[in-house]
């Protein structure tokens, strides 16, 4: 239908409307306008109502003929305005109607379009900015106002920072859904919401954990494909064990969900083999700096005092981006915990990683879990945890430590 601006009703909605018309009749008039020949009537609004009337044999339904609508663009705008005035439309459907009107009449000013559709001018401006930013609408030097006068307009020329924010997932939807015209404001609000979401544990959270004695070289077959939201681990530091990064990368590519991430703490001396292996199977995102809050070790003949450890950040497919720091600064580990594992990390440090880069209810895997520092951080913050380690002694320590700290805080 030429002026049917909304998609057809679903089968269930259509039957519900049919039952209502059968019982109560047609309550909203079916609207027409004359075609360009001045004689033929064209249906503007009420396509479903008219079809149902034909099916039910109803002929005395109310009708209205709208005068003064001569151009197709006028008729389309009027049809869209009728649908926008109806409360049953979702926000997304209303946005689609406004965007369709902008694409039909990009030369019209925002106020003129808003007046014709019966919506707010700022809402139209946000839709225009979105369409211009995504190259779906041309940027014009002039626009035609409601008084039919043509006026010059300034071309929207965003900075590179603004374009990055417009490309960030969620920013444009935030602007459209809440009528925010500034992408900086939308980005800040999204970041605050993400931070709150990451730190808020649902009241009904029922997290679980599982530990396995397993070798990463076997691919961890007990873990289903695409079942893990994040892998957070402290990998072996010894150059002789650098072979673990290839099976780690292959396993991560298999078990991570689309958009899942791998955060792998390493020692600088295995940085190159780690990067080479992981980059074959996952997408590199960034390297985080984990500050070492104790007497730093020396790198032998290099005469370098190490003050931080790199945490490699890789992802599986497209990751939902939001503002995150790349520096992790935590208090020193206590003497008791330091004796649990040769490369023991603090619960506070890994809690900072878990709450910053994952969400409550997600599942975290640590394939080199040691004494389960990642696990305790995950469980305490409302995440599920799966830990594996090649050393059965470490698995036993992990069991006891989770029970002592998480189960009996």
Q: Region 375-403: what's the mean pLDDT?
A: 90
The predicted pLDDT at position 115 comes to 86
Distances (CA, A) of 59 to 21, 48, 49, 52: 12, 14, 11, 11
Residue 46's CATH number: 3.90.1530.30
Q: Are 147 and 189 in contact (CB under 8 A)?
A: no
Residue 385 has pLDDT above 70, yes or no: yes
Count of domains in the chain? Answer: 3
What's the confidence (pLDDT) of residue 409? 47
Q: Is residue 5 part of a domain?
A: no
CA distance 377 to 180: 37
Query: For residue 3, is it within any domain?
Result: no
Helices (H), 284-384: 335-338, 347-357, 373-380
Read off the pLDDT of each residue in 102-117 and give the average, rounded to a whole number: 88
Per-residue pLDDT for 304 more than 70? yes
Q: Which residue has the tokens 């800040």?
A: 188
The answer to whether residues 119 and 187 belong to one domain is no
**For position 344, what pLDDT does the model report?**
56
Q: Over the stretch 219-272, which tens digit does the pLDDT of each residue have?
A: 999 999 999 999 999 998 888 888 999 999 999 999 999 999 999 999 888 899
Q: Give the least confident one: 127-141, 173-187, 393-407.
A: 173-187
Choice between 41 and 135, residue whose per-residue pLDDT is larger: 41
Q: What is the mean pLDDT of the chain?
A: 83
pLDDT at 177: 72
Query: Is the same domain home to 163 and 140?
Result: no
In this structure, the answer to whether residues 303 and 362 fall within a common structural domain is yes
Query: DSSP string covering 100-156, please?
Result: HHHHH-TTB-HHHHHHHHTS-HHHHHHHHHHHHHTTSS---SEEE-TTS-EEE-PPP
Name the least confident of 57-71, 135-149, 340-354. 340-354
150 and 185 inside one domain:
no
Q: Do residue 214 and residue 154 come from a single domain?
A: no
Quick check: helix, strand or coil at residue 315? strand
Q: Which residues pair with 265 in a beta bridge?
A: 234, 311
Task: Specify the higher pLDDT residue, 43 or 172.
Answer: 43
Residues 354 and 239 in one domain: yes
Query: Are 81 and 37 contained in the same domain?
Result: yes
pLDDT given at position 39? 83
Q: What pLDDT is attached to residue 286?
A: 92
Shared-domain flag, residues 217 and 83: no
333-350 tens-digit pLDDT = 554 554 455 555 778 888
CATH number at residue 360: 3.40.50.150
Which range marks the domain in which residue 44 is found? 11-158
Pairwise CA distance, residues 65 & 58, whole Å: 19
pLDDT of residue 343: 58
Any domain includes 272: yes
In a domain, 354, yes or no: yes
Rounded to two decimals, the pTM is 0.56
Which pair of tokens denotes residue 40? 């033929």
pLDDT digits (tens, 9 = 90+) for 152-190: 876 566 677 777 777 676 777 777 677 777 777 887 787
Torsion of CA 39, 40, 42, 47, to 10 degrees: 130
142-144 and 283-291 strand pairing: unpaired
194-225 residue pLDDT tens: 666 665 555 455 788 999 999 999 999 999 99
d(CA 367, CA 251): 10
Residues 188 and 218 occupy one common structural domain: no
pLDDT tens-digit series, residues 281-301: 999 999 999 887 666 566 655
Question: What mean pLDDT comes out for the span 59-71?
Answer: 87
Lowest mean pLDDT among 72-81, 131-140, 363-372: 131-140
Question: Is residue 347 domain-shared with residue 361, that is, in the same domain?
Answer: yes
What is the model's pLDDT at position 294?
A: 60
What's residue 152's pLDDT? 84
**High-pLDDT (> 70) share of the chain, %:** 85
For residue 72, with 0-12 CB atoms within 10 Å meaning exposed, 13-18 middle and 19 or more buried, which class applies?
middle
């Amino acid at each position: 239908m030429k002026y049917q601006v909304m998609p057809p009703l679903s089968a269930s909605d259509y039957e519900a409307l049919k039952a209502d018309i059968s019982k109560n009749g047609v309550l909203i008039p079916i609207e027409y306008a004359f075609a360009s020949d001045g004689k033929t009537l064209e249906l503007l609004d009420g396509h479903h109502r008219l079809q149902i009337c034909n099916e039910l044999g109803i002929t005395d339904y109310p009708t209205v003929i709208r005068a003064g609508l001569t151009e197709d663009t006028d008729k389309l705008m009027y049809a869209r305005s009728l649908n926008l005035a109806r409360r049953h439309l979702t926000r997304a459907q209303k946005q689609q109607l406004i965007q369709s009107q902008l694409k039909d009449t990009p030369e019209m000013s925002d106020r003129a379009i808003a007046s014709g559709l019966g919506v707010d001018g700022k809402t139209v401006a946000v839709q225009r900015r979105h369409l211009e930013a995504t190259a779906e609408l041309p940027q014009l030097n002039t626009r035609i106002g409601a008084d039919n006068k043509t006026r010059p307009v300034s071309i929207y020329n965003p900075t590179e920072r603004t374009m990055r924010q417009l490309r960030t997932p969620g920013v444009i939807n935030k602007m459209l859904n809440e009528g925010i015209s500034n992408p900086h404001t939308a980005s800040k609000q999204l970041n605050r919401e993400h931070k709150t979401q990451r730190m808020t544990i649902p009241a009904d959270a029922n997290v679980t954990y599982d530990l396995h004695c397993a070798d990463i070289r076997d691919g961890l077959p007990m873990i289903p494909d695409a079942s893990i939201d994040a892998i957070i681990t402290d990998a072996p530091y010894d150059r002789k064990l650098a072979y673990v990064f290839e099976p780690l990368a292959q396993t991560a590519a298999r078990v991570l969900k689309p958009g899942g991430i791998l955060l792998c703490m390493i020692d600088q001396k295995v940085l190159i083999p780690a990067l080479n292996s992981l980059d074959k199977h996952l997408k590199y995102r960034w390297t985080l700096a984990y500050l070492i809050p104790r007497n730093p070790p020396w790198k032998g003949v290099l005469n370098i005092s190490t003050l931080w450890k790199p945490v490699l950040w890789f992802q599986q497919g497209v990751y939902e981006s939001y503002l995150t720091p790349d520096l992790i600064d935590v208090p020193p580990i206590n003497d008791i915990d330091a004796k649990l594992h040769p490369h023991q990390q603090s619960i506070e440090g890994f809690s900072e990683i878990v709450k910053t880069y994952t969400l409550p209810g997600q599942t975290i895997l640590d394939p080199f879990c040691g004494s389960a520092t990642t696990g305790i951080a995950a469980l305490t913050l409302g995440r599920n945890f799966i830990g594996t380690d090649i050393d059965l002694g470490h698995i036993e320590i992990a069991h006891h430590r989770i029970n002592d700290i998480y189960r009996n805080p």
